[in-house]
Amino acid sequence: MSEWSRALSAPAAPEAEVAQTISGNRGLQIEEPLLFEQDSPGHCGVDLPEPAPFRSRLGGLERKGPIGLPGLSEPQIVRHFTRLSQKNYAIDSGLYPLGSCTMKHNPRLNEKLARLPGFADLHPLQPEASVQGALELIDTLAHWLKTLTGMPAIALSPAAGAHGELCGIMTIRTALEARGDRRLRILVPESAHGTNPATAAACGYEIEAIPANSRGRVDLAALKAALGGDVAALMLTNPNTCGLFEDEILEIAAAVHAAGAFFYCDGANFNAIVGRVRPSELGIDALHLNLHKTFSTPHGGGGPGSGPVALAAELAPHAPLPWLAHGAEGFALVEHAQGPAGRSIGRLKGFHGQMGMFVRAVAYMMSHGADGLKQVAEDAVLNANYLRVRLEDALSLSFPGICMHEVLFDDRFLKDTGVTTLDFAKALIDEGFHPMTMYFPLVVHGALLIEPTETESKASLDQFVSVLRGLAERARVGDVAAFHAAPRLTPRRRLDETAAARKPVLRWRPAPARQEAAE
Amino acid sequence: MRYLPLTDADRTAMLAAIGAPSIDALFADVPAAARHRGLLDLPLAMGELDVERRLGAMAAKNVSAGSVPFFLGGGAYRHHIPAAVDHLIQRGEFLTSYTPYQPELAQGTLQYLFEFQTQIALLTAMEVANASLYDGATACAEAVAMAGRVTRRNKAVLSGGLHPHYREVCETYAQFAGEELRAEDAAPGGGENLAALVDGETSCVVVQNPDFYGEIRDYSELAQICHRAGALLVVIVTEILSLGAIRPPGEMGADIVAAEGQSFGNALSFGGPYVGLFASREKFVRQMPGRLVGETLDADGKRGWVLTLSTREQHIRREKATSNICTNSGLCALAFTIHLALLGEAGLTRLARLNHATAVATAERLSGIPGVRLVTHSFFNEFTLRLPRAAAPVVDALAKRGVLGGIPVSRFYPGREELADLLLVAATETVTPEDIDRFALALREVLR
């Protein structure tokens, strides 16, 4: 054995010694202060000409005194944000199995096309004759989404999933009131995303939770008992947040419709069925799609998203503005609640919707085609089921049987180990993986919801399985301290969220000494 | 398919491991009638080159703003975006990460959001700001809702100078949330008496500065009147760059500021995605919508950042949340932060001055054309002209001459005769003296 390989196999130095660098940096992990702590007053990363003398027309309302923004040059800025980026995990770095979040690969072609000047450098209020290609792109997106959902209409302006929910429920309430039917309640299963009840409340409804049955699906008897003449809608996620298809969905839809209510579906998990199952055939009246999930527009650290809503014929006249029309001179925008759009709920956001996301989604759908999209659903479901069978003897599977695109475990396998779901997730971080969704859905204890997506290879899944099995074994044999100490290898270890909330510090302020000196 | 790593051999092996006879067996829970084994009526998969050709052809049918003299604003502004901005936001660690729910794996996102919040607070002269909302218009609707929660009142007064899309979004939200809105009539040049509309039931007065027509006003007195009546003053800013030149809303007594942040770092992109900015007084922070990043310490005592005050949010509070918002505009906020960081204090104030100078030059030049009158008294980089005839056909005629010459106010208010002659014109640092010459020449011709 050479000296070199002996060194490699030698035990690691104790943690504390590694941490003691002069700089506080740890190899590729470089400490980076805030922008505001790197101020060179007067400095600038952009060269701009000084305008020729002119007569100000600010009406005596000029800003007086400094704003307090720091001055830095371009190299300092580039280094700052590069270093920050290196403190992030991303789908580009590895498996990101957040359940119900659909963290799939983001193709770079889509980024390139969204930046074409013909899309990116286009003002939303240019004359329509100058934006026909943009309107054609929107029309193309609408066609694909209507075909994939089987629904007759699609509202494209909502900015994200929760905004789509708002659109759907507003549309439903308007349709009911058009019938002279003022209803008061919306039914939401216990396993729903928090946005569902929050949306229903924002639209003026009371929320009634519907329990899950022992199979992780909506309890049909409880649903039927809750339905009545004052129920406006059921908001159901399908596949649901337990990763299961609601196999009684036709009965659910029939019961909802028999009560005169509408059936809203949260389409956050559409990835499991895209190209294979059309929501229109499940009795759904309104369904939002997250383009930033199923259609791979990047999550960008929490947005921007896009949440188009597919609508049944009875809801379509109430769709938000603007509408896209096919006029004699090409495409036209209907921007006012007049004529055919007279029954619209109105406008939900500024301008026409998340165009940058539309371009990416169309590029994604065209790249896959009808065949590729069907394969997306199949591979997503296959990957999740593969994880299920490889893990069900090591972790505790919440509901037996096949799952859809995500698989739900709970914390029974950690019982009496002293390790919690949180500890288990944090240990996964040290192993180089982003944790799964924790403690959601609320219908099981200590939930661990894993969604691998179709863009993981079998090798990647196998590695993930071996790590999860290894960690479960470690928990079982009682290596509790290691779990409690995790993560140890990240730029920051566990952060004190309680302290952050108790005394919120939400912005940088100059140090008191500096402030006094300035006064 | 280039984005799918599984091979057919993998699929066969995995089905065997699962014990499923076929992929169809995994869809057994779907009612048989709804299971499609065939393909939907859509085109088949395409290679990169083909997709690029198809979308490239659509893009080529549009007249991009940079290809002509361009003078549109109205809540979306064309600014030069430094090259470093797009380079940095395309780093995969930013672009392809999720909401920072695991702070140890997202210190990069959390730190820039903390910097973003600080920038917004400084620009608006407010105490705290959130980590972004969808856009300015929805931020405005959220501000009205928040004012209702803070004051426990439900009547809001909207200025006629508010961007019509913002007013319309407020109206949509309000009809479902049970808020009463009193919207003043749209008209340039002021004349509205908002103070007279404030009473003991008013939750807030919403004004925009500079307003939709470009007019800059001092709202300090209105703030005092609101506060005496127990109401809040909400100030909307659609051109955030203006705060590099004019007095910020916080100095005028604003309680909530909602703004559009597109001007920094974000392309026009036909209207989205943009970034909603939201700031308020610190004492109202628990009524704020959206995510907040806060400073804390880690287990080793080192400074770090986390999402905080989450008990306001839907994933914890469900139907009692302050808003239903989840996904916001993270990456657009990053673009904003980088652009503003590059500018810094010196660059921001100079860029603002440059915009103002360009707009003044444009306004002076155009208002010298016979029959054209400048109706905005004080403005930043956007103003309103009254033309001797309806503005919409003039704008179309200008477009035929290769000039995108502003927005006819009638696009927002069809059928309002008294507004039909008004033209909204913006001029940013991207406008050259030659652009102004060409606009003036074309307008003179069209009006002849």
Tens-digit pLDDT profile for residues B182-203: 998 878 877 789 999 999 999 9
- Tell which phi-psi region holds residue A507, choosing left (phi > 0), alpha (psi between -120 and 50) or beta: beta
Location of each CATH 3.40.640.10 domain in chain B: 83-339
Question: Could you say which of A365, A398, A416 is where a domain stops?
Answer: A365
Q: Are residues A273 and A410 in the same domain?
A: no
- The residues in B 409-438 lying below 8 A from A, measured between CB atoms, are 411, 414, 429
Can you tell me the distance from the alpha carbon of A376 to that of B46, in angstroms, rounded to the nearest whole number?
Answer: 15
Tens-digit pLDDT profile for residues A381-422: 999 999 999 999 999 999 999 999 999 999 999 999 999 999
Query: What per-residue confidence (pLDDT) applies to A10?
Result: 43
Of the partner residues A78, A277, A495, the one whose CB lies closest to the CB of residue B306: A495
Can you tell me the distance from the alpha carbon of A203 to that of A200, in angstroms, rounded to the nearest whole number?
Answer: 5
Q: Are residues A419 and A342 in the same domain?
A: no
The answer to whether residue A346 sits within a structural domain is yes
**In the predicted model, what is the mean pLDDT of residues B62-76?**
98
CA distance B354 to chain A (A): 6
Closest CA to B392 of B438, B423, B436, B427: B423
Q: Which domain holds residue A491?
A: 372-502
Residues of A in contact with B105 (CB under 8 A): 88-89, 429, 434, 490
- The residues in B 219-238 lying below 8 A from A, measured between CB atoms, are none
Closest Cα in chain A to B134: A159
Mean pLDDT score across all residues of chain A:
94
CB distance A103–B98 less than 8 Å?
yes
Query: What per-residue confidence (pLDDT) applies to A9?
Result: 41
Q: Are residues A233 and A357 in the same domain?
A: yes
Say whether residue B3 is in contact with chain A using an 8 A CB cutoff. yes
Closest Cα in chain B to A136: B58
Say whether residue A502 is in contact with chain B using an 8 A CB cutoff. no
Q: Are residues A329 and A410 in the same domain?
A: no
For position A334, which CATH number holds?
Answer: 3.40.640.10
Say whether residue A103 is in contact with chain B using an 8 A CB cutoff. yes
Question: Could you say which of A342, A365, A388 is where a domain stops?
Answer: A365
Q: Are residues A282 and A396 in the same domain?
A: no
Q: Are residues A357 and A225 in the same domain?
A: yes
Helical ranges in A414-488 per DSSP H: 421-430, 458-477, 480-485
Q: Are residues A329 and A382 in the same domain?
A: no
Residue A15 pLDDT level (bands cut at 50, 70, 90): low
Tens-digit pLDDT profile for residues B369-407: 999 999 999 999 999 999 999 999 999 999 999 999 999
**In the predicted model, what is the mean pLDDT of residues A21-42?**
94
**In the predicted model, what is the mean pLDDT of residues A356-375?**
98
Of the partner residues A43, A382, A504, the one whose CB lies closest to the CB of residue B14: A382
CB count within 10 Å of CB A153 equals 20
CB count within 10 Å of CB A12 equals 7
Check residue A369 and report its DSSP letter: H
Q: Are residues A427 and A488 in the same domain?
A: yes
Question: Could you say which of A344, A365, A386 is where a domain stops?
Answer: A365
Query: What per-residue confidence (pLDDT) applies to A19?
Result: 57
Burial of A239 (0-12, 13-18, 19+ CB in 10 A): buried
Q: Are residues A404 and A321 in the same domain?
A: no
Query: What per-residue confidence (pLDDT) applies to A512?
Result: 77
Say whether residue B46 is in contact with chain A using an 8 A CB cutoff. yes
Residues of B in contact with A177 (CB under 8 A): none
Mean pLDDT score across all residues of chain B:
96
* Residue B291 φ then ψ, to 5°: -80, 150
CB distance A90–B363 less than 8 Å?
no
Total count of domains within chain A: 2
Query: What per-residue confidence (pLDDT) applies to A513?
Result: 59
Can you tell me the distance from the alpha carbon of B410 to that of A512, in angstroms, rounded to the nearest whole number?
Answer: 52
Distance from the first to the final alpha carbon of chain A: 67
CATH dotted code for B83-339: 3.40.640.10
Can you tell me the distance from the alpha carbon of A327 to that of B281, in angstroms, rounded to the nearest whole number?
Answer: 48
**In the predicted model, what is the mean pLDDT of residues B23-44?**
93
Of the partner residues A112, A123, A281, the one whose CB lies closest to the CB of residue B33: A281
Check residue B184 and report its DSSP letter: P
Check residue B182 and report its DSSP letter: E
CA distance A417 to chain B (A): 22
For position A427, which CATH number holds?
Answer: 3.90.1150.10
**Cβ neighbours for A307, distance < 8 A, ≥ 6 positions apart:** A158, A159, A160, A161, A162, A163, A164, A165, A167, A288, A289, A290, A291
Which tokens sit at A139?
A: 């029309």
Say whether residue A109 is in contact with chain B using an 8 A CB cutoff. yes
Q: Are residues A395 and A268 in the same domain?
A: no
* Residue B222 φ then ψ, to 5°: -60, -35
Distance from the first to the final alpha carbon of chain B: 59
Location of each CATH 3.90.1150.10 domain in chain B: 65-80+345-447
Can you tell me the distance from the alpha carbon of A146 to that of A143, in angstroms, rounded to the nearest whole number?
Answer: 5
Pick the CATH number of B65-80+345-447 from 3.40.50.800, 3.40.50.9100, 3.30.70.20, 3.90.1150.10: 3.90.1150.10
- β-pairing, A206-210 with A153-155? unpaired
- The residues in A 37-66 lying below 8 A from B, measured between CB atoms, are 41-46, 48-52, 54-64, 66
Residues of A in contact with B329 (CB under 8 A): 303-304
CB distance B78–A123 less than 8 Å?
yes
Q: Are residues A303 and A436 in the same domain?
A: no
Residue A13 pLDDT level (bands cut at 50, 70, 90): very low
The answer to whether residue A7 sits within a structural domain is no
Q: What value of ipTM does the predicted structure carry?
A: 0.98
Beta bridge partners of A206: A185
Which tokens sit at B360?
A: 């003044």
The answer to whether residue A330 sits within a structural domain is yes
Half-sphere exposure of B33 (CA within 13 A, CB side): 9
CA distance B118 to chain A (A): 5
Can you tell me the distance from the alpha carbon of B344 to that of A46, in angstroms, rounded to the nearest whole number?
Answer: 9
- In order of A142, A275, A289, A317, B127, the CA distances from A149 in angstroms are 11, 9, 10, 18, 46
The answer to whether residue A340 sits within a structural domain is yes
Q: Are residues A336 and A437 in the same domain?
A: no
